[in-house]
Chain A
Amino acid sequence: MSEQQRDLTIEVPVLARVEGEGGLSLEVKNGQITQLQLRIFEPPRFFEKFLEGRSYQEVPDIVARICGICPVAYQMSAVHALESIFGVKITPWIRAMRRLLYCGEWLESHNLHIHLLAAPDFLGYRSATEMAAQYGEEVKRGLALQHIGNDIIRMLGGRSVHPVGVKVGGFYKAPSLADVEALKQKIRAAIPQAEALVRWTASLGLPDDHQEFVCVSTHHAQEYPFNEGDLISSDGLNIPIAEYEQHFKEFHAAHSTALHSHLHDKPYLVGPLARVNLNYAQLPAPVRLNLERTNVQFPSNNMFHSLVARAVEVHFALLEALQILDNYHVPDSPYVPVTPRAGTGYGCTEAPRGMLWHTWTTNEQGEVVSTRIVPPTSQNQPRIEEDLKLSLEAMGLDHSDDILRLRAETVIRNYDPCISCATHFLKLNVNRA
């Protein structure tokens, strides 16, 4: 078509409602996308280097600063890796409190994304505050659920951004029974809200865009994954986390300050949709039953079902948090003693945006010799590029620049990319030659 032959450049100087700075270059020739690059140019901050020489005791406070939205995830992968080096055996209480802390971060991050970042795309608004005029109850419900996440993190760590409660070996302090009781009441009251949230996201008329992709997450036979499990994929991978580097390869592309990652030379997906697809059976029955009242089914290969998957995990996190708190007792000690030694260890936990893999090497004083940190967004970046190509071609490249740009932004935001993590602004350049 002659429409497709026109020479055209579209500029979107800034991509709103994502976390970090990025850009997009799109080249169209003869109705085909010939080049597509999601460019990430968040300035590098060199965490791996200034962690060298630091004591293991400083690590949880430093790695938190990689990301303001998911500091808990960085703390969790790091403490597990360091504890594996030092041969630390944590108590069931510590394990339960780490799951609780993670529930808090998922609730905070997922509700922020669903309500403030993603939903305006599907309802035709530029921001959540604009959306609130029509959807006031939904926005308030989301912000209240987000607040419960913040409350959980605050109880265990003093504040929700860069919490200060986590140490290698456990927690600095155990919450009081009074604090636990107050939190339980809030959570119990919010469960019907989370059930309604799942049904609402499923009713939004999300675009129908089915694609082939490989899902990757951690997996634990008895529970929905947070801190512990093997790495599995939808095409049969099943490995201990220590073997990650044998299967996953990072590479550096010119258009990005984030390293990209491939599994067996191909893009793959991490995050809520990958987790729900691979761990559906591990979700508690009330979560599955509520979901079955909707017309969305998992596993799903519609990337836009990520929004529903996030809501499902909100429901799950509330139930899980309540169960942990129902069994709460004040322990003799909130941590176990740690004796550092030299070695290399691995940690892999489920950040809100997906699997977060770490390896750490320490000397005999427990000082960091080296570390490698693979955040979820750099793992998803090749998949986002692949999705953009498939989605835009499926929609048809003869649409106006505005429609193409909005769809491209919607596709990218659907992944909840955390560009500060991966290393913000999106420029869309469409060259139609």
Chain B
Amino acid sequence: MSLKAVSQKPTVAVHKFSSCDGCQLAFLNLGEHLIKLTELVDILHFVEAGPIDFDSPVEIAFVEGSISTEEEAERIQAVRKNSRFLITIGACATAGGIQALKNMNDEKAWTAAIYAQPQYISTLATATPIAQHVRVDLELHGCPINSHQILSTIRALLFGVTPVQDQDKLCSECKRLGKVCVMVTQQMPCMGPVTRTGCGVLCPRQNRDCYSCYGPAENVNTASLSQQLISLGLSKTDVARRFMLFNNQAPEYAAAVMHIREAK
């Protein structure tokens, strides 16, 4: 993102599309820092927190959720027009979210299976990331993102510098923390080798395998990890499922699934 400093007290909007609302909690769970944040920025639009002003232009817009209805597809265009920096927050906004699994299935049949009156349900056949609809200036990854990501991004913009993006693999951070590898020692199907860091190595620190809620890191070798998972005893279906979670529309993971399905 090319950066010119935002004003001293920039205007901010938080928008929601198809999601679980969990990434907005990165704001609402700030505790007393939330009061401090409102001194640093002017939050004009944030429905869940109270302020509603959809139409005024803002300097920074945070967007949660993926696009899964006609209304959302139109609304995101309006958000883009009104926003100087558009920052997506979370796996839904950056990679479609878990609801994008419907893209590979017959959505009409699913609606009919769940809803007694499927004719009342109006949605698009796909749930898609924001960047497929409008230009995005910065993507914050995670399912969910955490408060640190929000605060460091806003702080960087206030200082007029480019926000730092974690792109390293979780695996590397895990080693640096001196954590014993759960894949090597316990044969767990850990996604750490292909996953973007930023969570604080949550899962290995809980003695479990990473399930890649932060999505792909840079330059990942998904084929090599897939092979490793198979050598640990996972079936091809199991391996594909590992990539088909909260970041299933990330190109690296979608390609990994195709690769597994085509392999003999």
Contact of B159 with A by CB under 8 A: no
B31 contacts A68, CB within 8 Å?
Answer: no
Contact of B205 with A by CB under 8 A: yes
User: Chain A contact residues: over half helix, strand or loop, or mixed?
Assistant: loop
In angstroms, Cα B98 to Cα A67, docked, is 12
A46 contacts B31, CB within 8 Å?
Answer: no
Within 8 A of A (CB), among B83-125: 97-99, 101-102, 105, 107, 110-111, 113-117, 120-121, 123
Interchain nearest-CB distance for B197 vs A (Å): 14
- Taking a contact as CB atoms closer than 8 A, the residue among B21, B48, B54, B111 that contacts A44 in the complex is B111
Kindly list chain A residues whose C-beta atoms are within 8 Å of the C-beta of B245: 58, 61-62
Given known contacts A54-B241, A128-B49, A162 and B144 CB-to-CB distance under 8 angstroms: yes
Kindly list chain A residues whose C-beta atoms are within 8 Å of the C-beta of B20: 65-68, 420
Contact of B77 with A by CB under 8 A: no
A164 contacts B51, CB within 8 Å?
Answer: no
In angstroms, Cα B55 to Cα A13, docked, is 12
Closest Cβ neighbor of B208 among chain A residues:
A172
Contact of A17 with B by CB under 8 A: yes
Contact of A430 with B by CB under 8 A: no
A16 contacts B51, CB within 8 Å?
Answer: yes
Contact of A173 with B by CB under 8 A: yes
| Interface 9-residue window, one of B4-12, B22-30, B169-177, B252-260 | B22-30
In angstroms, Cα B123 to Cα A46, docked, is 11
- Taking a contact as CB atoms closer than 8 A, the residue among A48, A127, A140, A165 that contacts B206 in the complex is A165
A259 contacts B24, CB within 8 Å?
Answer: no
A43 contacts B207, CB within 8 Å?
Answer: no
Kindly list chain A residues whose C-beta atoms are within 8 Å of the C-beta of B202: 158-159, 164
Closest Cβ neighbor of B24 among chain A residues:
A68
Closest Cβ neighbor of B182 among chain A residues:
A172
B22 contacts A49, CB within 8 Å?
Answer: no
Kindly list chain B residues whose C-beta atoms are within 8 Å of the C-beta of A206: none
Interface residues on A, range: 35 or more
Contact of A252 with B by CB under 8 A: yes
Interface residues on B, range: 35 or more
Q: Mark A231-263, 1 if CB is under 8 A from B, else 0.
A: 000000000000000000001111111010000
Closest Cβ neighbor of B20 among chain A residues:
A68
- Taking a contact as CB atoms closer than 8 A, the residue among A46, A67, A146, A424 that contacts B99 in the complex is A46
Interchain nearest-CB distance for B17 vs A (Å): 8
Within 8 A of B (CB), among A399-433: 420, 424-425
Kindly list chain A residues whose C-beta atoms are within 8 Å of the C-beta of B241: 54-55, 58
In angstroms, Cα B28 to Cα A147, docked, is 10
In angstroms, Cα B19 to Cα A30, docked, is 41
B98 contacts A50, CB within 8 Å?
Answer: yes
In angstroms, Cα B100 to Cα A50, docked, is 10
Contact of B138 with A by CB under 8 A: no
- Taking a contact as CB atoms closer than 8 A, the residue among B72, B111, B123, B203 that contacts A164 in the complex is B203
Beyond the given pairs A50-B101, A162-B213, 19 more chain A to chain B contacts, judged by CB atoms under 8 angstroms and listed by A's residue number, are A16-B49, A16-B52, A44-B121, A45-B99, A46-B114, A49-B114, A50-B98, A62-B245, A65-B20, A65-B246, A69-B25, A120-B50, A143-B32, A150-B29, A158-B206, A164-B202, A172-B208, A259-B116, A424-B48
Q: Spell out B's residues near A (CB within 8 Å).
A: 16, 18-26, 28-29, 31-32, 34-35, 38, 43, 47-52, 54, 68-69, 72, 97-99, 101-102, 105, 107, 110-111, 113-117, 120-121, 123, 127, 143-144, 146, 199-200, 202-203, 205-208, 211, 213, 238, 241, 245-246
- Could you list 27 A-B pairs, sorted by A, with CB under 8 Å? A13-B52, A14-B47, A18-B48, A19-B48, A20-B21, A43-B18, A43-B68, A44-B115, A48-B114, A49-B105, A54-B241, A58-B245, A65-B22, A68-B19, A68-B21, A68-B24, A112-B29, A128-B49, A129-B43, A143-B31, A158-B205, A160-B29, A161-B22, A161-B144, A167-B208, A173-B206, A420-B19
